[in-house]
Structure 1
Amino acid sequence: MPDSYPLTLNSLVAGCNQKTSRNPILEISEADAQEALDSLKGLSLVTESSGGRAFRYSHNIDGVLKIPSQSIALLTVLMLRGPQTAGELRIASDRMHNFADISSVEAFLEELAERPSGGLVVKLPRLPGARENRWAHLLSGPPAKDLLAAPISSGSHGDSDADSLGELSDLKAKLAQLEGELASMKTLVARICTELGISEIGVDVNRD
């Protein structure tokens, strides 16, 4: 969760328009965000509270969908970053929940997929050479058809190729996590500067 949670409208817009670790990448206005918030409030998925000089918003997914915090963490990452493997989800959701291992992530994903009232995630066909299947959320409807279609492999892949692709996937997930944390820090610093009336902070890297 962000340090300033629940979020103001400005914070929500900044988060939605973040360009790193996002899929899809958005460019929304305050009006767009407010319209979405009003729609979610109508579904009881968002609650509004007054605090300080602005209204703040928090989710109510646990109250509506009746799912545990572990599942909420996984859905959050899938909504922010698009289809992910269980390994990528474990790394990316670390700030919200520290899963013990990939098996525990997969257990919660399977539970989300097999809900009697309707699945919230779906397992996608495994990509050629990949060690893990990716998962996608179903909160906005079925994923694109090209994600559901089983890819056609041009040939067999050895274990070494699969291991290399798996390691690359893990590295990309870790890099995306670091980029997301850096972007969050930049947003926090910008907010602090605004509150202090500082327009720019300069650092002299050559200073003794």
Structure 2
Amino acid sequence: MSPNFAERPLTPAEARVLGTLMEKARTVPDSYPLSLNALLTGCNQKTAREPVMELSEPDVIEALEGLRERSLVIESSGSRVPRYEHNFMHGVGVPEQSAVLLGTLMLRGPQTAGELRLNCERWYKFLDIGSVEAFLDELQSRSESAGGPLVVKLPRAAGAREARWAHLLGGPVSVSASAAAPEASGLADRVAALEATVQRLEAQLAHLSEQLGLSQPGQN
């Protein structure tokens, strides 16, 4: 039976470990399965991660144990150094395309269908955004007998062109908080851009005043 993530959600550390294993299986197959050190580095990398995390080795080991109990991670045998691989598609019962979308959502947070298509390119090349949306719709309408929905479409934020999608492997998503996040982030970006523009104009004005021998505004 597929795991029910509504009853027993993944912890943030478990989601990061699982997503990292799924990513590295695609992007660095020659180094896969991963050693504990390689997995720790992948979990804490600064790029392609939202949020950026600082997991410790005990955090990763605890997450691996929780994932192994649910048959989502397998420890490889026959090596001096323990290595780990994911068992997501079989353990959850989803096709490759759905697994890629869920893995990307676990690593990068809520995204639009267009962002998902772009961010999934190193894992799997979707033909178009319509193909991405079809698999997302399927994951959202998943029956309770199969474990329930695995993604949710968030309300479109003010000023946003597209709605974002979030995974439900870590339990229910706060729709109001998620909808507000991009708006707040966009406002912060606009403020930062305006501040940079003001500083640039001030510098240009100061230079011009110096060239003309004029006193700068605010000076006697």
Instruction: Give the TM-score, by structure 2 length.
Output: 0.65
- Which deviates the most, 141-150 or 15-24? 141-150
1:106 paired with 2:130, answer no
1:144 matched residue in structure 2: 174
Whole-angstrom CA distance in 2 between matches of 1:75 and 1:6? 20
Aligned length: 152
Matches of 2:82 and 2:167, distance apart in 1? 29
> Counterparts in 2 of 1:97-136, with a 5 A limit?
97-117=124-144, 118-136=148-166
SS at match of 1:103: helix
Distance 2:109 2:135 in 1: 17
Tell me, in whole angstroms, the C-alpha distance in 1 between the residues paired with 2:48 and 2:65. Answer: 26
Q: Distance in 1 between matches of 2:154 and 2:114?
A: 14
Change (3 A) 1:120 1:13: same
Q: Does 1:70 align with 2:97?
A: yes
1:141-196, CA deviations, whole angstroms, 9 ceiling, x for partnerless residues? 11234345579x9xxxxxxxxxxxxxxxxxxxxxxxxxxxxxxxxxxxxxxxxxxx
Q: Which has the larger radius of gyration?
A: 2
Alignment of 1:23 onto 2:50: yes
Q: Quote the residue 1:50 is aligned against.
A: 77
Alignment correspondent of 2:60:
33
Distance in structure 2 (CA, Å) of the matches to 1:100 and 1:129:
28
* Richer in helix (by share): 2
What residue is the counterpart of 2:88 in the other structure?
61
Q: Structure 1: how far apart are the matches of 2:119 and 2:130?
A: 15
Indicate the RMSD between aligned Cα atoms, in angstroms.
Answer: 1.8
Runs of 5+ in structure 1 lacking a partner?
154-208
Question: Matched residue of 2:152: which SS?
Answer: strand
Q: CA deviation at 1:19?
A: 1.5
Letter in 2 for 1:94: E
Q: Percent identity between the aligned chains? A: 58
User: Residue 32 of structure 1: SS of its match in structure 2?
Assistant: helix
Give the SS at the match of 1:57. strand
Task: State yes or no: 1:2 paired with 2:27.
Answer: yes
In 2, Cα distance between equivalents of 1:143 and 1:51: 40
> TM-score, normalised to structure 1's length?
0.68
For structure 2, the residue ranges without an aligned partner over 5 or more in a row are: 1-25, 184-220
Aligned to 1:93: 120
- TM-aligned CA deviation for residue 8 of structure 1: 1.1
Partners of 1:82 and 1:14 lie apart in 2 by 19
Equivalent in the alignment of 1:79: 106
